[in-house]
């Protein structure tokens, strides 16, 4: 029997797998999104959070965060959310 909390099961549809693979290969994809896609793809192959963290040189908590977010929100969960706080008062052209 495994130790720690049970991790949510992660299964991909063919379309999700294709989209994640595209995000890892496309040059215009942000590095953060590409990393999240690599995390989810590795988790979907049945690798443990610890194995994925070690292979990608990131923390186990980071792997867990993106696994849980993907299971809850699918592909949309990997996209950047708007930041909290007041909207900007000065635009880039004024800076």
Residue 24 lies in a domain: yes
Q: Which domain holds residue 55?
A: 14-78
Q: What are phi and psi of 5, to 5 degrees?
A: -75, 145
Residue 4 lies in a domain: no
Q: What share of the chain is helix, strand, coil (3-state, %, to 5)?
A: 60, 0, 40
Residue 59 lies in a domain: yes
Q: Report DSSP letters for 12-45, one per residue.
A: --HHHHHHHHHHHH-TTS-HHHHHHHHHHHHHHT
Residue 85 lies in a domain: no
pTM more than 0.75: yes
Question: What does the pLDDT look like over 5-64, one tens digit per residue?
Answer: 667 778 999 999 999 999 999 998 899 999 999 999 999 999 999 999 999 999 999 999
Residue 88 lies in a domain: no
Structure tokens of 80? Answer: 């950047």
Q: What are phi and psi of 19, to 5 degrees?
A: -65, -45
The domain tally of the chain equals 1
Residue 89 lies in a domain: no
**Residue that the structure tokens 């040189």 belong to:** 57
């Amino acid at each position: 029997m495994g130790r720690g909390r049970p991790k949510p099961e992660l299964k991909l549809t063919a379309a999700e797998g294709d989209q994640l693979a595209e995000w890892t290969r496309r040059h215009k994809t942000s590095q953060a999104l590409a990393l999240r896609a690599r995390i989810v793809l590795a988790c979907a192959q049945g690798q443990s959070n610890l194995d994925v963290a070690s292979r990608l040189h990131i923390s186990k908590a980071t792997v867990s965060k993106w696994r849980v977010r993907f299971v809850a929100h699918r592909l949309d969960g990997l996209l950047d959310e708007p930041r909290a706080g007041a909207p900007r008062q000065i635009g880039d052209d004024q800076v």
